[in-house]
Chain A
């Protein structure tokens, strides 16, 4: 290990030790440096900068949550590297899950018997309508839907990122979906078919 890197890691270890004792300045320095270092490391692995930024944030959240597990008697790098690896694997798994759930509609561009389906503008309108409906939800319910249904976070992840309890999130999602269902029914003029 070159001297610069060794020195940097020794700072990180020192700042983390101080942060464990409640030193917010040291913690801020550490997190700022870590976000740069982790981003640099991830950009070599992940082509999509958005994905890299997602993982950077996941890593920072995890570092925050498990900062009590860092032992100052041990080097900082392996501790951080294990967290980065874990969160990168999580991203790949999440993407794999999303890809499995997506279906390619080969006939998306052909004419359908339902006239409404042939108007792409109408489809865009529907998207806008749904987005508007989402925006019309109370902030707590909207946030719960976005985290749990759109970003597909687990309840625990969502609870950690919002500070709300898992039960509160479940209730918020339930209420949000009920409201959306009612409003969409009003928009379409007929009840939605249950899945």
Chain B
């Protein structure tokens, strides 16, 4: 049995014309991404200030490599969020779907360099116990997922025609920002286990985003 009460296309056009109220044009994706980043940045700064005060902003990084790694995280976050906003608008270049991979590769390279740095052998751990690494992992997932959900709200205002690409870029961005935020509460140690726990958390956030992309982002 097939019942397909499809209206004629002419009737559909008429219905849509009747429904055509004025709409507010969406701002450019670059501007929307910037506003999103500023809002999240201010919220993060306010949280850090409320919890730890000003001292943490003045404290220097443990090494220049760790500092560079932090900037690479921020770049991954900012570029991922911007790429997701571009991908969410129909007709924008699909080249954006690889945008966050480049700063991510740089970040990974810096993290590996950190593990290899120093006169000693490869730094497997920084001497912390397992709980410490689980805490790192939990912080990145626990902070990255809510950020990704907030981001999805912004992306859904457009039409992400390639939702999986959009979600991966956005989730990489959100995860990277969560990790950059973590720096204020937890030193960025350069050890293999740290590296593994950070990148596993980031992969988890991006994978969940990719799996839920079509249902969450596509109207």
Contact = CB atoms under 8 A, between A and B. Distances in A.
B9 A53 contact: yes
Interface string B48-72: 0000000000000000000000000
Interface stretch (B15-23, B136-144, B171-179, B189-197): B15-23
Contacts of B159: 62, 65-66, 69, 83, 86
Contacts of A57: 6-7, 9, 12
Judged by DSSP, the binding face of A is: helix
Interchain residue pairs A-B with the least CB separation, the first 10: A22-B22, A78-B91, A79-B91, A82-B90, A86-B161, A68-B23, A66-B159, A31-B13, A28-B17, A64-B16
A35 B13 contact: yes
Interface residues of A, number: 47
Contacts of B21: 22
B219 A160 contact: yes
Nearest to B218: A86
B12 A61 contact: yes
Contacts of A85: 161
B4 interface: yes
B47 to A, nearest CB: 32
B68 to A, nearest CB: 36
A83 B91 CA distance: 8
Interface in A35-86: 35, 39, 53-54, 56-57, 60-62, 64-71, 74-75, 77-83, 85-86
